[in-house]
Chains A and B, each alone.
Chain A
Amino acid sequence: EAQVTQNPRYLITVTGKKLTVTCSQNMNHEYMSWYRQDPGLGLRQIYYSMNVEVTDKGDVPEGYKVSRKEKRNFPLILESPSPNQTSLYFCASSLWQGASYGYTFGSGTRLTVV
């Protein structure tokens, strides 16, 4: 089944403890992206990647890192999480440059930083 898989689904962590949210797609998509969703603010793009080793900042990149060493994986790294990073996170992928073909989204990771 074609899908984007995120892990974990839920995560509670403490301030400052480094964490990684994994994202993997099995559709050979070139384009991958991370969004966060917050009440009243909608979905905002954190980082995106157009291909292996090609990543760039979205609208809200502060406090996050990403890497794209393989085409299928696009992990989101929080080096020192803070409470304002409590949010619902989504990974998405698309065949090429995302928008022309529509995104496939993962099921989301609900992160709570205390």
Chain B
Amino acid sequence: SQQGEEDPQALSIQEGENATMNCSYKTSINNLQWYRQNSGRGLVHLILIRSNEREKHSGRLRVTLDTSKKSSSLLITASRAADTASYFCATDPSGGTSYGKLTFGQGTILTVHP
């Protein structure tokens, strides 16, 4: 089963509104990453937050990480139509022999209406 599970599965908002997506995971991690995928295209790395960090910002993106609850959230502020895409969280499990294997969630489909 997927390590990361995003919530909601789909989100529809108006341009200018904020979009919040959540991710839950099961095992201990080294870091958690968020990616964006435009329809049928390759995934683009957005932001990485390490297990000892609680919050990180990058432009209009804000990511939080709560390792005690094994959850993360991605906030996109002042959304634009160009933000319409699928968003995935991916976890880098700690320990074991993961060898850098990221495990991806199912994704949240974000639609931003002009």
List residues of chain A with CB under 8 Å of any chain B CB: 4, 31, 33, 35, 40, 42-43, 45, 48, 50, 56, 58, 88, 90, 92, 94, 96-108, 110
- Tell me the complex Cα distance, A4–B102, Å: 17
A45 touches B101 (CB 8 A): yes
B101 touches A103 (CB 8 A): no
A97-B100, A100-B92, A106-B42 given; 20 more Cβ-contact pairs under 8 Å: A31-B100, A40-B106, A42-B88, A42-B104, A42-B106, A43-B43, A48-B99, A88-B40, A98-B101, A99-B31, A99-B33, A99-B98, A99-B101, A100-B30, A100-B31, A103-B43, A103-B102, A105-B45, A108-B40, A110-B40
- What are 11 A-B pairs at a CB distance below 8 A? A40-B106, A43-B104, A48-B100, A94-B100, A99-B92, A99-B98, A102-B33, A105-B42, A106-B42, A107-B41, A108-B40
- Count B-side interface residues using an 8 Å CB cutoff: 23
- Tell me the complex Cα distance, A96–B98, Å: 13
Q: Which residues of chain A are within 8 angstroms of B106 by Cβ–Cβ distance? A: 40, 42
- Tell me the complex Cα distance, A98–B30, Å: 12
Please tell me which one of the listed residues A42, A100, A106, A110 contacts residue B100 in the complex, with CB atoms under 8 A apart. Answer: A100
The prevalent SS among residues of A at the interface is: strand
- Tell me the complex Cα distance, A94–B44, Å: 13
- Tell me the complex Cα distance, A107–B38, Å: 10
B42 touches A108 (CB 8 A): yes
A79 → chain B closest CB, angstroms: 24
Give B60-90 as 1s and 0s: 1 = Cβ < 8 Å from A's Cβ atoms.
Answer: 0000000000000000000000000000100
B101 touches A105 (CB 8 A): no
- Tell me the complex Cα distance, A98–B93, Å: 12
Q: Which residues of chain B are within 8 angstroms of A92 by Cβ–Cβ distance? A: 43
A42 touches B105 (CB 8 A): yes
